[in-house]
């Protein structure tokens, strides 16, 4: 279902006109109110009056996580604190968290975008939405919560964790929709199997709306099969708004529609920072054009993606982004070869007997990088003869070498030995940095 026909199916020419008008307002606003933006624009030799068309966006300086850190905590807000009704923060792996703020209007915008997101996944009034995204400084819980309420669904604000209780509630309340990270959804599926709960018979779950971390198509199939649901991918990041930046539609399940009436996407080459050719992959960059408290100009997400401009069967006119293939900063360089955890996942999920729980451990011996892939195998495989296990490990090793061009060791581990996630899964342990 389309939540907001007027905007979501707007003809492209009208959309572009709206984007330009909103972009101009945003640029004027940050220039007038945030000394940091003004200084960066002055250094780049550009003023708000220079933004005459959408192509002029390229003249504006980029914003990075480092810029946000330097202005910690509230330095990039464009309104006084007494107009900010909510803050969220993302911890990241190093340094200070990045802090983001919302006015009342921003909260309304966010709820509208999350209503669109959920409607695109087929969620409607009357659905019981089990919201297992974490509540707190993380944007997932509250972001999804307001959107689901605004849509008129019945929200169960359970947050992440306490998996047995999740399943009990799912059963007792007749939850029809699950919101969580994909890795937590699989964790829930495992615990259900242990408890002897059969989703088809015992539950009313129909659809899952998953995001906040990368997941492969194979992982999607696994979740759909084990929970007996449709699994929809949603994307967002705190700096831009939280969840509600882009969402897949149930009709096509093929690429996430970017809500372009609020965010302008660009794809740039991460080294030259020049735009890539149409349809090519690069770093995803966003400019927010309706946010009040915390607009961002050309924010570098570090996510690697491309844009699909062909129209979608669902009727939305927004461009789509396929699944994120990796991040510029979780790219591992193993003996000079670029390796993305998602590529390893792709190999693993294609092999029978291998479970969707894995971790990549990178280390250094002398001057040599080493990579060990630890992956769980099914109970049946684990209790198989040792020579079968060895053969399986060798097959995985070979497939990884063929696809990625890098040798690694493979350790098949017992079912349930890799730590389960309740939010974002930790896939890589890089001991070289310790």
Q: Give me the residues that bind ligand DLL (CB under 6 A), please.
A: 90, 133, 139-140, 211-214, 233-238, 242-243, 301, 303, 324, 327
Q: Comparing C-alpha atoms, which of 12, 11, 26 is closest to residue 286?
A: 26
Q: Which is nearer to ligand DLL, 31 or 299 (CB)?
A: 299
Distance in Å, CB of 191 to ligand DLL, minimum: 21
Whole-angstrom Cα distance, residue 68 to residue 80? 17
- Shortest Cβ distance from residue 149 to ligand DLL (Å)? 16
Nearer to ligand DLL by C-beta: 139 or 187? 139
Question: In the complex, which residue's CB is closest to ligand DLL?
Answer: 211
CA–CA separation, 257 and 428 (whole Å) = 29
**Structure tokens, 187:** 């964790």
Listing DSSP states for 103-149 in one string gives -HHHHHHHHHHHHHHHHHTT--TT-EEEE-SPPSSSHHHHHHHHHHH
What gap in Å lies between CA 3 and CA 121, rounded to an integer?
11
Distance in angstroms (rounded) separating the CA atoms of residues 351 and 392: 9
Report the residue number, 199 or 236, with the smaller CB distance to ligand DLL.
Answer: 236
CA separation for the pair 14, 38 (Å, rounded): 30
User: Cβ closer to ligand DLL: 31 or 138?
Assistant: 138
Q: How far is the CB of 227 from ligand DLL (least distance, A)?
A: 17
Q: Judged by CB, which is closer to ligand DLL: 27, or 344?
A: 344
Minimum separation from the CB atom of position 390 to ligand DLL (A): 34
Between 115 and 377, whose beta carbon lies closer to ligand DLL?
115
3-state secondary structure of 35: helix
Distance in Å, CB of 178 to ligand DLL, minimum: 12
SS3 430: strand
CB of 134 to ligand DLL, least distance (A): 9
Whether the Cβ atoms of residue 281 and residue 217 lie closer than 8 Å to each other: no
Task: Give yes or no for a contact between 164 and 195, defined as CB atoms under 8 angstroms apart.
Answer: yes
């Amino acid at each position: 279902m389309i939540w907001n026909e007027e905007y979501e199916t707007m003809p492209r020419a009208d959309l572009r006109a709206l984007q330009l008008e909103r972009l101009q307002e945003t640029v004027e606003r940050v220039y007038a109110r945030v000394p940091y933006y003004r200084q960066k624009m002055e250094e780049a030799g550009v003023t708000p009056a220079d933004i005459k068309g959408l192509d002029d966006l390229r003249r504006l300086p980029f914003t990075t996580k480092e810029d946000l850190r330097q202005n910690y905590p509230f330095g990039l807000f464009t309104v006084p604190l007494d107009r900010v009704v909510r803050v969220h923060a993302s911890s990241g792996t190093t340094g200070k968290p990045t802090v983001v703020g919302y006015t009342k209007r921003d909260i309304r915008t966010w709820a509208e975008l999350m209503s669109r997101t959920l409607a695109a996944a087929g969620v409607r009034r009357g659905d019981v939405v089990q919201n297992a995204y974490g509540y707190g400084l993380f944007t997932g819980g509250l972001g999804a919560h307001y959107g689901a309420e605004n849509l008129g669904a019945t929200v169960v604000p359970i947050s992440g964790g306490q998996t047995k209780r999740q399943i009990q509630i799912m059963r007792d309340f007749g939850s029809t929709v699950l919101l969580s990270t994909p890795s937590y959804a699989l964790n829930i599926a495992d615990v259900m199997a242990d408890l002897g709960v059969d989703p088809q018979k015992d539950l009313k779950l129909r659809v899952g709306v998953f995001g906040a971390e990368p997941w492969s198509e194979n992982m999607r199939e696994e979740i759909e099969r084990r929970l007996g649901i449709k699994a929809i991918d949603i994307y967002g990041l705190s700096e831009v708004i939280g969840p509600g930046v882009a969402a897949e539609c149930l009709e096509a399940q093929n690429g996430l529609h970017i809500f372009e009436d609020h965010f302008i996407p660009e794809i740039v080459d991460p080294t030259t920072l020049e735009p890539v050719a149409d349809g090519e992959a690069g770093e995803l960059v966003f400019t927010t054009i309706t946010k009040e408290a915390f607009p961002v100009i050309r924010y570098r997400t570090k996510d690697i993606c491309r844009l699909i401009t062909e129209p979608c069967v669902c009727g939305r006119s927004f461009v789509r982004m396929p699944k994120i293939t990796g991040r510029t900063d979780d790219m591992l360089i193993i003996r000079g070869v670029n390796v993305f955890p998602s590529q390893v996942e792709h190999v693993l999920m294609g092999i029978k007997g291998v479970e969707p729980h894995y971790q990549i451990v990178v280390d250094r011996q002398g001057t040599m990088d080493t990579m060990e892939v630890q992956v769980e195998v099914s109970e049946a495989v684990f209790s198989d003869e040792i020579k079968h296990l060895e053969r399986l490990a060798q097959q995985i090793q070979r497939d990884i070498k063929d696809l990625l061009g890098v040798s690694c060791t493979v350790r098949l581990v017992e079912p349930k030995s890799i730590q389960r996630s309740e939010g974002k899964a930790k896939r890589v342990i890089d001991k070289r940095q310790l």
